[in-house]
Amino acid sequence: MTMRTESPSGTDAFEVSVNDLQVHFPVKKPFIQNIFSRDRPVVHAVDSVSFRIKKGEIFGLVGESGSGKTTLGKAIVRLVEPTAGRIMLNGEEITHLSEPKLRPLRRQMQIIFQDPHASLNPAMTIGQAITHPLKIHGITKTKTRDEVKSIVLQVMREVGLSPEDQLYSKYPSDLSGGQKQRVAIARALVLRPMLIVADEPVAMLDMSIRAKVLQLLLDLRSKYDLAFVFITHDLATAKFLCDRIAIMYLGRIVEIGPSKNIFTDPKHPYTKALLQAIPIPDPRRRTAKILPKGEVPDAVNPPAGCRFHPRCLSVLPTCGWEGRDFIDYLEGRRLVPRHAEQDEQILGPLEKWSARGLRAEWKIEGQDTGAIIVYLKDILRDANLQMTRAVQTVSVKDDHVVVEFQKPDVLLQKDVDGRTVECLLYQ
């Protein structure tokens, strides 16, 4: 039985595209807090992301935690509802399609998860697990039991699960991590999808068996023209496997293009930082690393302008400096005892400073504002030149001492050297 003719799309073309996709989640706050405050904080998991995946393409979504890559992957298969933007499958919009209408289309897009131990139903045998998708889509109704079983056995063989007749009646707890992941792949494969979203499929497997599972994905791509969205934080694997990649940071795509171009000549400072940070398994090539400071900030209040600006080593005055950045700077000064004393004296306790958008302000309670302003200007001279240049005014406004930054430039996506980058350095 040739499996190719079972392909549900029927046509040769296949394309999934995502336009300005946005996924925001409300932050779960205790009920009481909801009564007392108006604002409803929201996690900006994915913000205005666009790309297209063609038949047989392996598309990488690369990023660290908080980048939104997993949420994006789930949104593509509608496991998570987008809050704005569109998802198109072969020209048809599926963004908010109702479940009954979406169900038949689900055959074309499947997902496999990171944790092989948690993605299989412990109550189902391997055979039952792989048969289930066929049942759900009514395929078992038109075939005999034996026919169905042989389809399942064949898929098991394809993914390297052998001896398949024995494993057919086993439960997940009898299998190793690598085998369980293969079952998950078989389950996704049995419907003959055109796209599989693979969320960190080998991250939890031992190194020595990762290669086999990745090789399997490559083989499936060659054999069936299967497209993949390969989600990972491991740049090396992404480089090896993917045709095109998108580097994500805090919900946005900062660089996207052919994998080769991005790796040989990374443009975005974050991409460069990632590449530098990867530990190389070769002691002769130990290098001093220049790393961006700090960590990925929280997605509830992402930084203004370019989200990477507080950590960027190539930052410009127009990248999005805001009140929070100045307060972080003051905080950093307090780590040095010599500065800490003076700052405490003249600028008061740090808790009194607050950030409001582009401003950092401190309510005056009878201090000598003149001296404070002079001091502020003084310490700004010690700060990052780019931040200092971004300061518009240091003055007194509405009985606050205010450090106000200029408005950031609007970020655009620019095509540079065969890929697209979102960075003011290239605008």
Out of 277, 371, 374, 385, the only residue in the binding site for other proteins (CB under 8 A) is: 277
Q: Which of 15, 115, 225, 409 binds other proteins (CB under 8 A)?
A: 115
The binder of other proteins chosen from 20, 143, 150, 291 (CB under 8 A): 291
Q: Which of residues 57-76 bind other proteins (CB under 8 A)?
A: 64-65, 74
Please list every residue from 188 through 207 that binds other proteins, using CB under 8 A. Answer: 191, 206-207
Stretch that binds other proteins, among 9-17, 327-335, 389-397, 417-425 (CB under 8 A): 327-335
346 binds other proteins (CB under 8 A): no
339: contact with other proteins by CB under 8 A: no
Binding mask 293-312 for other proteins (x = CB under 8 A): --xx-x--------------
Please name which of 322, 299, 317, 319 lies closest in space to residue 308, comparing C-alpha atoms. Answer: 319
Identify which of residues 350 and 396 has a Cβ nearer to other proteins in the complex.
350
Of how many residues is the chain composed? Answer: 427
The residue among 147 and 206 lying less far from other proteins, judged by its C-beta, is 206
Does 313 help bind other proteins (rule: CB under 8 A)? no
For position 178 contacting other proteins by CB under 8 A, the verdict is: yes
By rule CB under 8 A, what count of residues binds other proteins? 78
Q: Can residue 214 be called a binding residue for other proteins (CB under 8 A)?
A: yes
CA–CA dist 78, 139 (Å, integer): 22
| Residue 27 makes contact with other proteins by CB under 8 A | no
Smallest distance from the beta carbon of 412 to other proteins, in angstroms?
26
Taking CB under 8 A as the binding criterion, the range among 6-14, 26-34, 159-167, 334-342 that sits at the site for other proteins is 334-342
CB of 143 to other proteins, least distance (A): 18
Query: Among residue numbers 215 through 254, which ones bind other proteins (CB under 8 A)?
Result: 215, 218, 233-237, 239-240
Is position 415 an interface residue for other proteins (rule: CB under 8 A)? Answer: no
